Amino acid sequence: MRIIISPAKKMNIDTDTFCYENLPRFLEETGRLMEWIQGLSFEEMQKLWCCNDKIAQLNYQRFCDMNLYQNLTPALISYEGIQYQYMAPEVFTQKEWEYVEGHLRILSGFYGVLKPLDGVTPYRLEMQAKTKVDGTKNLYDFWGNRLYMEVKDVDHTILNLASKEYSKCIERYLESEDTYVTCVFGEWKDGKVIQKGTQAKMARGEMVRFMAEKGIENLEEVKGFGRLGYRFREDLSSDTEYVFLK
């Protein structure tokens, strides 16, 4: 079974806490994206990132100085978003690190697919960014089916904890033998399930931690998740969607 998650916009450099183990699988493609972005003006980069001046200046400098092979941080430690804060990989045991390294994959507009201990450098590039690299119309076109092919494993089971922006990279290439389940974390309101962004990110992080702690190897065990006040709702769930409500 593979678990897919989204990256976070905020990243840090930490070369002391953990050492990275490998370079990312698609580093050649990442290099082409880097060169394309480095060829843009500051104004064009800021438009690509849709951010304020302070964030644009930080990331402009990052790309000016970028080296994909030096001063690298393990991916799971580098991302600082809410999901990663609730996952708290810094306090994983060795067994939990082994679990996520084998099961967890981070989808990235810049790196494609990352294992938790792949070495990365801070960047900014969302999957939905309007890029035109190598004659492609956007990043979905640029990456094609490569992310799906990298994510799927021998049992063709994928647990989706990613946002729609990233999960669509996988969903459009699913095959008939695949079992693909999306987790929904929400509240019941006005006769329907409402999912709030921040709350969902917190729950996704907790779900990864739960699975790592328990060493979960099949989808049935995922239903036992009960953290942050969530409980699995069999009556609202299906073969392709597991619903957890507060």
User: CA-to-CA distance for 52 and 170, rounded, in angstroms?
Assistant: 30
**Tally of structural domains, the chain:** 1
User: CA-to-CA distance for 140 and 202, rounded, in angstroms?
Assistant: 26
Task: Examine residue 63 and state whether it is found in any structural domain, yes or no.
Answer: no
Task: Examine residue 141 and state whether it is found in any structural domain, yes or no.
Answer: yes
pLDDT tens for each residue of the chain, 246 residues long = 999 999 999 999 998 888 999 999 999 999 999 999 999 999 999 999 999 999 999 999 999 999 999 999 999 999 999 999 999 999 999 999 999 999 999 999 999 999 999 999 999 999 999 999 999 999 999 999 999 999 998 899 999 999 999 999 999 999 999 999 999 999 988 888 888 889 999 999 999 999 999 999 999 999 999 999 999 999 999 999 999 999
Task: Examine residue 99 and state whether it is found in any structural domain, yes or no.
Answer: yes
Q: What is the extent of the structural domain holding 95? A: 2-25+72-245
Strand-pair partners of 189 = 192
User: CA-to-CA distance for 106 and 79, rounded, in angstroms?
Assistant: 10
Task: Examine residue 39 and state whether it is found in any structural domain, yes or no.
Answer: no
Whole-prediction pTM: 0.96
Task: Examine residue 104 and state whether it is found in any structural domain, yes or no.
Answer: yes
Task: Examine residue 45 and state whether it is found in any structural domain, yes or no.
Answer: no
- Quickly count: other Cβ atoms within 10 Å of residue 148's Cβ: 20
pLDDT-above-90 percentage for the chain: 93
Task: Examine residue 160 and state whether it is found in any structural domain, yes or no.
Answer: yes
